Amino acid sequence: MIPACPLAALPRGEAFRLDAVEPPIAVFHTDDGELYAVDDTCTHQDASLADGWLEGCEVECPLHASRFDLRTGQVDAPPAKLPVRTHGVVVEEGTVYVVPSGEAA
């Protein structure tokens, strides 16, 4: 479990790029109040999804408009073909933690 940022620093509609891990992970706070974490790097070309546009449970890559479902990591719109990995998110005492996939919570 890796601390990302204070929850207060991640308002709804915003994203946080956690680069303490490799590859980096993006944490999103949706307008509905949900928190999701996926690999930050678009699978099409090297771009940060945290710099992209969050709409509902999808993020759109800022470079070529590939869209990924934050719940599953699946591609909803090309040009990306491969999904991004999803990761767990935990909030404890006001801090957002990321649980990288494959790691027990």
Q: Which residues bind other proteins (CB under 8 A)?
A: 17, 19, 24, 40-41, 45-48, 51-53, 62-64
Say if residues 78 and 43 touch (Cβ distance below 8 Å): no
- Burial of residue 94, with CB atoms counted within 10 A of its CB: 0-12 exposed, 13-18 middle, 19 or more buried: exposed
Rank residues 32 and 46 by Cβ distance to other proteins and give the closer one: 46
Rank residues 48 and 72 by Cβ distance to other proteins and give the closer one: 48
Count of C-beta atoms within a 10 Å radius of residue 52: 23
Instruction: Supply the minimum distance, in Å, between the C-beta of residue 92 and other proteins.
Output: 27
Question: What is the Cβ-side half-sphere exposure of residue 34, based on CA atoms within 13 angstroms?
Answer: 11
Rank residues 64 and 90 by Cβ distance to other proteins and give the closer one: 64
Instruction: Supply the minimum distance, in Å, between the C-beta of residue 36 and other proteins.
Output: 19
